[in-house]
Amino acid sequence: SLRAKLIGTDPKSDVAVLKLQGNTGPLKPIRIANSSRLRVGEVVLAIGNPFGVGQAVTMGIISAVGRGNMGITDYEDFIQTDAAINPGNSGGALINLKGELVGINTAILSRSGGNIGIGFAIPSNMANTIMEQIVEFGEVRRGLLGVNIYTVTPDIAAVSQILNGSAAEEAGLEVGDIIVEVNGKAVDSAGELRNAIGLQRAGDEVRLTVIREGKERKIKAVLGGQAEEEQVA
């Protein structure tokens, strides 16, 4: 049992960073795996203290990846698993069979309050990116493109509004542009585009591939910073 100093929090992703105080000699940091390499069906273990009964480990598989639009946090890209996650598991590690961290257990879907085999974890890649910014700045300084977007079909996202003075306006994005890639990686929905931009830092340059009037275009944009208060569109 150790005291810890709160370095910072990110309510939009439900991640916090703590720095342990005192004698941490016996402890070793866990290795962090690349969560983008997770495969559906891969065996994982969930570690936690369910219902306060004590430290416990449960086993299951990766049921799905890239789960979003769950209404749990602002930025969602959850790993879904059927490894038993119950109240008391939140914040615990989801690990692969090599003992590497692949996610942080965060929520369950349940009508009873107990596990029914649908649990969610924040991917290690997202958590690691957020941790690095909190350690450096004490907060997450997300980049802002400055567009309102909507999903046109299950595999494309289109721009519905360009905000004045935004990175999008400076880069030459236009209403009706269909954004299909960010930094060479395909985006399949408005939510994926939001995550891809939100995990970049303010001031970062991003490469967008857009479809405009049936033709593919490459656009570079330097992201602005997000305002403290969000405005309702």
* CB 102, CB 123: distance < 8 Å: yes
d(C-alpha 18, C-alpha 166), whole Å: 34
pLDDT digits (tens), the chain, 233 positions: 889 999 999 988 889 999 999 998 889 999 999 999 999 999 999 999 988 888 999 999 999 998 877 777 777 788 999 998 888 888 899 999 999 999 999 888 877 777 778 899 999 999 999 999 999 998 888 888 888 877 776 556 678 888 888 899 999 999 989 999 999 999 888 888 888 888 888 889 999 999 998 899 999 999 987 654 555 54
| pTM more than 0.75 | no
Q: What is the DSSP letter of 137?
A: H
Handedness of CA 6, 11, 12, 16 (dihedral sign): positive
* CB 131, CB 150: distance < 8 Å: no
Read off the pLDDT of residues 163-214 as tens digits, 9 standing for 90 and up.
888 899 999 999 989 999 999 999 888 888 888 888 888 889 999 999 998 8
- SS3 of 128, please? helix
Angle 20-59-112 (CA atoms, 0-180°, nearest 5)? 90
Kindly provide the residue ranges of all beta strands, DSSP E only, lying in the chain, ordered along the sequence: 4-10, 15-20, 43-48, 56-67, 78-81, 93-95, 101-108, 119-123, 143-144, 147-153, 156-162, 178-182, 185-186, 205-212, 215-222, 224-225
Dihedral through CA 166, CA 167, CA 169, CA 170, nearest 10? 120
Q: How far apart are the first and last CA of the chain?
A: 47
How many Cβ atoms are within 10 Å of 84's Cβ, its own excluded? 20
- SS3 of 220, please? strand
Read off the pLDDT of residues 13-22 as tens digits, 9 standing for 90 and up.
889 999 999 9
Q: How many residues does the chain have?
A: 233
- Gyration radius (Cα) of the chain, Å: 19
Residue position matching structure tokens 């273990």 = 45
